[in-house]
Chains A and B, each alone.
Chain A
């Protein structure tokens, strides 16, 4: 048994501060275990979200020693023995209580995105898609909506531009729809004008924190930005479209 010090932010929308807790930990414990232990023994009303405790649901997002992480996949023993572990709620979204924040903004963004619109089946036959065609889309669909990327993206976190940019999670949602071999909807103009692809300055913090290791920037946002360039910024392609009479 080893003792560890935790410094946990307690409070609500009106304010709060760090509170210290000391607990003894077991081998293999993750930060979420430690928090649950504190909750059971020392602070019954410690506000905290978790579901699967296996890195699959994306509920337990918080900032541990300043790094946005899933508490259920972060082993306590990975921290230096004498160090104190600081736990605070994600910064970008308003605190409800303790480590729980109001994530409703994210759900609103999802609603704004035009849903999947598949081509019709050919005489009712099964759809066919090759694995190599769906690999890219599947990478984005690994997303567990932990919103850690939304939390760390400086556009939402520091620049207060929630009204201009939907954030990395929804950029890859858009990418997964745009790259879907069966989809027929065109979202490119909206990606530029309404969802704010131009606001992203590809500084890649979203990719750095994604617990699903989705290459959000390289495989999602940049390819989408390139598609926007095709449509809006490439004079040669524009000319080509004028002459070929194609709209896209």
Chain B
């Protein structure tokens, strides 16, 4: 037993877990609202996943095309998510994104400009108009640096870097704080707080081929799950259509959608622009029929329609998978993405500098001369912690979630660019929500020593075991299972196999052992994240098995096509008393009338 008085202890009104775009934006809002705020993040400040985002942030600024407005952004988002999105969240998002982007500019962000000197916007899949404010292909970096520089100059924000949250603490039903550890020293820390905002991102690391960094081990999902919240929409994992496929060691690294937005085309081994064959009915009226029309659209002809490469990600990823499976793939098991023959070399280097660099260095390939080889890669979790659409609070009082860690906003498929706007909009709302919650409290929550001890014991057991399994090998095992059985196209049989496999891995994971001491020991850190990965993986698998239809990013070979019946339901995951995973099919409330009208409107009706 550890005496909690001896633990290093910090007290704040709010603890934000995560220093990505959503965490930092939430922290800034908390600070503006006058609360003492902690930001806890497991990497160094400024290295969070958001830094990798390339293409841009979606907001209907109307700078590049004045016809754009929030309603059309809302309609695109709902259509992209196959109408499974949380209506109110999608409304908040579409309405507020533009303000959040303008606010970033006030805080020092420097976006690319239009000829008139306004923030420039680029085309992206599923967005009716050029809508993505961007900085070349390093938009995420710009956003995180802006928020970081803004946050560090605020008095009441304290940042705890390389500090990993291990478990949440509760006083009865409500949140009272959390336990974390310093990565460098391995020491445990007690954070006392009235509210906790989870902004920990997704769990892509459960797959082998992923664009995600090591941080994406589903910590937030597991923290929330153990604390008693629900996770929703976990079956919807987005596979980005274009990840690198070669060399082997870089497989999965993202190739931004901006390549296609700027004119890049997809070709199979027969040099056919195959996407023309895969346009679903729903998008057909808004998609070009001929290459010539697509080119006119790219050149800015407002009467032309978009090329088929720019329909939503789920469709493109499925099409690519089909081409590869039918033997028309590229030499290393992808398809070709060609920008070289489409726009001049100088423009490629100017608009897509980091793509140019990435291929040059990692694959020895000059994208201004040769086509790239690309294939689907696990990219994003549409699912996550279930939260209130206005306050971002989960069903556990005082526990909030925002960004990729929360679920609902994107429905069954996220449009490119909608995440960077999501993290800003809902980061702020979570901050406001936390403020209202904290204000409503009449007394300070207490810390329960037994909870603290249990969390710490589970963590130190891994180090103290005499012998056990190598955490890295367990992780690899899990990645192989998920890549094989819970991939982009799923079947009942495979999903059931996955469940058995996950059980097997869980057994091994119970005996995981980290060698060495607790000071900066990546083996231990890895071991600590295995449990979180497993919860995330299991949630995805169970939900995928339950949803017997194909919708958005979730494709069931044995249940092709969208089923109207299923539009009425979402799937939630929570923890049973006995510790097992509970899965439920829950009816959705009917959509607010005025929003439904917008979502199902003809595009002409919304253009001003």
Contacts and interface: CB of A to CB of B under 8 A. Distances in A.
**Touch test A–B (CB under 8 Å):** yes
Contacts of A111: 152-153
A56 B161 CA distance: 19
A97 B473 contact: no
Interface in B155-175: 161
Interface stretch (B111-119, B295-303, B557-565): B111-119
A121 B118 CA distance: 13
B402 interface: no
Interface string B331-373: 0000000000000000000000010011001110000000000
B521 A47 contact: yes
B515 A180 contact: no
Contacts of A153: none
Contacts of A49: 43-44
Contacts of B105: 127
Interface residues of A, number: 57
Contact count band on B:
35 or more
B249 interface: yes
B108 A44 contact: no
B45 interface: yes
A116 interface: yes
B451 interface: no
A58 B253 contact: no
A138 B247 contact: no
Nearest to B358: A54
Given A28-B248, A30-B249, A44-B471, A12 B519 contact: yes
Contacts of B141: 56, 141-142, 144
B69 to A, nearest CB: 15
Interface string B517-528: 101111110000
Nearest to A32: B249
B538 interface: no
B522 A73 contact: no
Nearest to B106: A118
Given A98-B520, A110-B149, A129-B113, A115 B108 contact: yes
A45 B215 contact: no
Nearest to A120: B106
B411 interface: no
A78 to B, nearest CB: 10
B184 A56 contact: no
A207 B433 CA distance: 45
B522 A46 contact: yes
Contacts of B118: 126, 128
A39 B362 contact: no
B473 A40 contact: yes
B135 A115 contact: no
Interface string A30-47: 100100000111001111
B102 interface: yes
B110 A134 contact: yes
A97 B113 contact: no
B4 interface: no
A145 B116 CA distance: 32
Nearest to A46: B522
Nearest to B246: A28
Contacts of A73: 361-362
Given A28-B250, A30-B362, A51 B215 contact: yes
Query: Which of A28, A29, A58, A73 gathers most chain B CB within 10 Å?
Result: A28
Interface stretch (B46-54, B273-281, B497-505): B46-54
Contacts of B473: 40
Contacts of A45: 514-517, 521-524
Contacts of A118: 106, 108
Interface in A153-210: 177, 180
Contact of A59 (B47, B358, B514, B516): B47
Contacts of A47: 520-522
Contacts of A44: 470-472, 514-516, 521-523
Contacts of B63: 126
Nearest to A106: B44
A184 to B, nearest CB: 12
Contacts of A116: 107-108, 149
A48 interface: yes
A130 B114 CA distance: 8
A2 interface: no
Interface string A110-153: 11000110100100001111110010011001111100000000
A200 B411 CA distance: 53
B312 to A, nearest CB: 24
A96 interface: yes
Contacts of B213: 50-53, 57
Query: Which of A26, A40, A41, A102 gathers most chain B CB within 10 Å?
Result: A40
B162 to A, nearest CB: 9
A47 B523 CA distance: 9
A82 interface: no
Contacts of B153: 111, 115
Contacts of B362: 28, 30, 54, 73, 75
Nearest to A56: B52
A10 to B, nearest CB: 11
A152 B239 CA distance: 40
Contacts of B254: 54
Interchain residue pairs A-B with the least CB separation, the first 6: A28-B247, A45-B516, A44-B523, A128-B117, A116-B108, A40-B472
18 contacts: A33-B249, A40-B476, A48-B522, A51-B215, A54-B358, A54-B362, A56-B52, A57-B47, A57-B51, A59-B47, A97-B519, A115-B153, A126-B63, A130-B117, A131-B113, A138-B112, A138-B135, A143-B145
Given A28-B249, A52-B51, A56-B52, 10 more contacts: A30-B249, A51-B49, A53-B213, A54-B52, A58-B47, A96-B184, A126-B118, A127-B105, A128-B117, A141-B142
Interface of B: 43-47, 49, 51-52, 63, 102, 105-108, 110, 112-113, 116-119, 135-136, 138, 141-142, 145, 149-150, 152-153, 161, 184, 213-215, 246-250, 253-254, 354, 357-358, 361-363, 470-473, 476, 514-517, 519-524
